[in-house]
Amino acid sequence: RPPMETRPERNGGAFLIDRAAEMDGPYVAVVGQAGGGEGGRVGATNIGRLRQGKAARGGANVTSWHLRVFAVVVGVMGCLLLAASLVMSALHQVQFRNGAISVNFRGLQELKQNFVRKEQSEQIMHERLLQMATLATSKNESDSGNFALWEEPYKQARKWTPCAAKYTLEEEPSEDNNGFILVSANGGLNQQRVAVCNAVVVAALLNATLVLPRFLHSSVWKDKSQFGDIYQEDYFVNYMKGDVLIVKDLPSHLQSLDLEAIGSQITDNDISKEAEPSEFIRTALPVLQKNGVVHFLGFGNRLGFDSVPADLQRLRCRCNFHALKFAPEIQKLGSLLVQRLRGVSAMQTEMDTQLFGSNMLDRPFGDKSTDDAGGPSRYLALHLRFEEDMVAYSLCEFGGGDEERRELQAFRETHFPALVARLRNTTVSPEELRSQGRCPLTPEEAGLILAALGYVRGTFIYVAGSQIYGGATRLRPLTRLYPNLVTKEDILSSDELAPLKNFSSRVSALDFIACASSDVFAVTDSGSQLSSLVSGHRVYHGRGRAPTLHPNRKRYAQILSEEAGIEWAGFQKRVRTMVDEYKRVRARPRGRTVYRQPRTPGCMCRADDDGSVDF
């Protein structure tokens, strides 16, 4: 039978509503009052008569009522889900287009996760400076449009232009050569990128064919991605074909060989770090000529810089700055990331063209009417190299006391047993390491530099890097100064990031892209391959308009050691002088990598005032 619904009344009775009658028309809605007395009997009599008149149609009415209710419920739920999706999408776009982050928004995923947990104390090492910096960043809001903070200060930087794309080797490579070079590169995305370009140079040096490099699976990186998962294979092979022959696999007659057994495997122990070309000719060439193949295993930083001739140095730059293009999937997602950071719907720079090519997205927000008249919003990219492995390997201390020491020692014993073995009979002074500039900067120390340089509290900052050691406790001093911190996980949805999940090298490529495309890039660790490669890309493709902030950690440690007696004005002056030193435009000094400093013969050219071009 159709369901009956009762509604309580003040007299303790109830109105009975017959749903089936209600659906037949408005002429019967309230059929009586149930309860004690005459009213109840009248109500019951009326109900009985009504049911007798409806008996023949009862079954049909029940079915019709159920179907209608089901349809209404489904429709309402669908509308609610659609409305929620549209609202969330709109909020997401407005939030990042306008850089408007609410007071409670912390930016970094780890801070969000800790927001619902019990409040943790801040891990602060420089309380006095932090208090002065907090006051300074708030006062500086009136200087938020200060272009000096966002521009390259030295116009000489614009006189240097890319040159590596213009030249190839004098002689075309021939298939009639000494054999095949096989490289299995270790490390993460950026270490592997360096290994690939060094392999190109070694193949040309030894007059050999390069097999597309393989990437080793690391227990630290835990990523099985290979070359074609990260870069465009065909583009790489075709771009370099005028310099080095590159094939995707060894010939079948060599694939079955046990390269280690026949003596064709050369490890990092067999080649000096940053070796001269002559060492490769002396060590690898005889093996190559004898067996037709050489396998370099590891190949971490095995080729030097100063002794490499200009024509081979040029190959490094052609490889790194031109031939290695990220896979289309990474390019498209990186384009979306950068456009949301900028809050505009079009790419605008030479860097964009190099990073995204034909895979730039024109309208990331799906809104053809988006008004970009206000111009792009600026953002600063900060590479915080303060992951647990970095902190543990440094052997420094960061104010966490005995608990921190035990935790980092346990990590070293698990992940760096060779380091632990070397330290058994050695005493290491964390204070001395810090004074030598060998300790990574904490998030707090990075924030103090930005505050001293004049970046205001509202500065929009993209944070690159993995999980910060110490989590929210370590990050809170930085978010106190700069609450508008975001990561790729904040800007891209979980669905958008899903294809890269569990592939750390591909995810790192997004950090590379966001840092290279930023208005200002702030480095905290000179030894980081990401910082090195991104800095070099900004010099090479930035056209003198891509400033990089690079502190001298040794000098900075000296400044911090005097914080008890230093006032904010003095701290500002010393920090600005320190950072300004790195910004000075000069050719690559001896011993420095061309990946970070490409202003060198074979890589970049300099236009003099008279119009002539050097290099």
Whether 207 contacts 245, CB under 8 Å? no
pLDDT at 112: 47
Among the ranges given (61-70, 166-175, 376-385, 575-584), the one the predictor scored with the smallest mean pLDDT: 61-70
Q: What letter does residue 341 receive in the DSSP assignment?
A: H
* Claim to verify: residue 317 and residue 358 sit in the same structural domain: no
Q: Is residue 423 part of a domain?
A: no
For residue 606, the SS3 value is strand
* Claim to verify: residue 331 and residue 317 sit in the same structural domain: no
Please compute the mean of the pLDDT values over residues 452-478 and round it to a whole number.
91
Q: Whole-angstrom Cα distance, residue 494 to residue 349? A: 28
Report pTM.
0.79
116-131: pLDDT as tens digits: 443 456 789 999 999 9
Among the ranges given (160-174, 199-213, 267-281), the one the predictor scored with the smallest mean pLDDT: 160-174
360-389: pLDDT as tens digits: 877 544 444 344 444 457 899 999 989 999
* Claim to verify: residue 267 and residue 302 sit in the same structural domain: yes
Whether 517 contacts 488, CB under 8 Å? no
* Claim to verify: residue 354 and residue 379 sit in the same structural domain: yes
* Claim to verify: residue 298 and residue 347 sit in the same structural domain: no
Q: What letter does residue 320 receive in the DSSP assignment?
A: I
pLDDT at 12: 39
User: Higher-confidence residue: 200 or 50?
Assistant: 200
307-359: pLDDT as tens digits: 999 999 999 999 999 999 999 999 999 999 999 998 865 556 889 889 999 99
Whether 185 contacts 216, CB under 8 Å? yes
Q: Is residue 149 part of a domain?
A: yes
86-113: pLDDT as tens digits: 555 444 444 444 443 333 333 465 554 5
Q: Whole-angstrom Cα distance, residue 392 to residue 404? A: 10
509-547: pLDDT as tens digits: 999 999 999 999 999 987 789 999 999 999 999 989 899
Strands 180-185 and 613-614: unpaired
Q: Is residue 51 part of a domain?
A: no
Q: Whole-angstrom Cα distance, residue 294 to residue 178? A: 10
Asked if pLDDT for residue 572 goes beyond 90, the answer is: yes
What percent of the chain is modeled with pLDDT above 90? 58
Looking up tokens 């050489």, which residue turns up?
A: 294
Neighbouring residues of 26: CB distance < 8 A, sequence distance ≥ 6: none
Tokens of 163: 């040159």
Q: How far is C-alpha 421 from the chain's CA centre?
A: 34
Asked if pLDDT for residue 39 goes beyond 60, the answer is: no
pLDDT at 220: 66
Q: Is residue 403 part of a domain?
A: no
* Claim to verify: residue 482 and residue 347 sit in the same structural domain: yes
**pLDDT-based confidence at residue 24 (cuts at 50, 70, 90):** very low
Q: Which three-class secondary structure string do you get for 398-456?
A: CCCHHHHHHHHHHHHHHHCHHHHHHHCCCCCCHHHHHHCCCCCCCHHHHHHHHHHHCCC
Task: Say how many C-beta atoms besides its own lie within 10 A of residue 350's C-beta.
Answer: 14
pLDDT at 366: 44
DSSP-based helix, strand, coil % in the chain, nearest 5: 50, 10, 40
Asked if pLDDT for residue 211 goes beyond 90, the answer is: yes
* Claim to verify: residue 133 and residue 225 sit in the same structural domain: no
Tokens of 185: 């590169």
What percent of the chain is modeled with pLDDT above 70? 74
Q: Whole-angstrom Cα distance, residue 452 to residue 437? A: 19
Q: Is residue 56 part of a domain?
A: no
Asked if pLDDT for residue 417 goes beyond 90, the answer is: yes
Among the ranges given (70-79, 224-233, 251-260, 459-468), the one the predictor scored with the smallest mean pLDDT: 70-79
pLDDT at 222: 75
* Claim to verify: residue 155 and residue 189 sit in the same structural domain: no
pLDDT at 145: 56
Choose one of 323, 341, 357: the last residue of a domain: 323
| Tally of structural domains, the chain | 2
> The domain containing residue 297 runs over which residues?
180-323
| Average pLDDT of every residue of the chain | 81
Strands 613-614 and 604-607: antiparallel
* Claim to verify: residue 464 and residue 584 sit in the same structural domain: yes
Q: What is the dihedral of CA 456, 458, 462, 464, to 10 degrees?
A: 60
Whether 298 contacts 268, CB under 8 Å? yes
60-91: pLDDT as tens digits: 555 566 667 666 666 767 666 655 555 554 44
* Claim to verify: residue 301 and residue 347 sit in the same structural domain: no
HSE-up of 79 (CA within 13 Å, CB side)? 6
* Claim to verify: residue 221 and residue 358 sit in the same structural domain: no
Helices (H) and strands (E) in the chain — how many of each? 26, 17
Neighbouring residues of 398: CB distance < 8 A, sequence distance ≥ 6: 123, 125, 391, 404, 439, 442, 470
> Which of these, 608, 552, 538, lies nearest to 580 by C-alpha position?
552
Q: What letter does residue 218 receive in the DSSP assignment?
A: -
Whether 379 contacts 461, CB under 8 Å? yes
Please compute the mean of the pLDDT values over residues 165-172 and round it to a whole number.
74
Q: Is residue 32 part of a domain?
A: no
Task: Say how many C-beta atoms besides its own lie within 10 A of residue 569's C-beta.
Answer: 11
Tokens of 273: 């770090």
Total length of the chain: 615
Q: Is residue 112 part of a domain?
A: no
Q: Is residue 513 part of a domain?
A: yes
pLDDT at 56: 45
* Claim to verify: residue 201 and residue 152 sit in the same structural domain: no
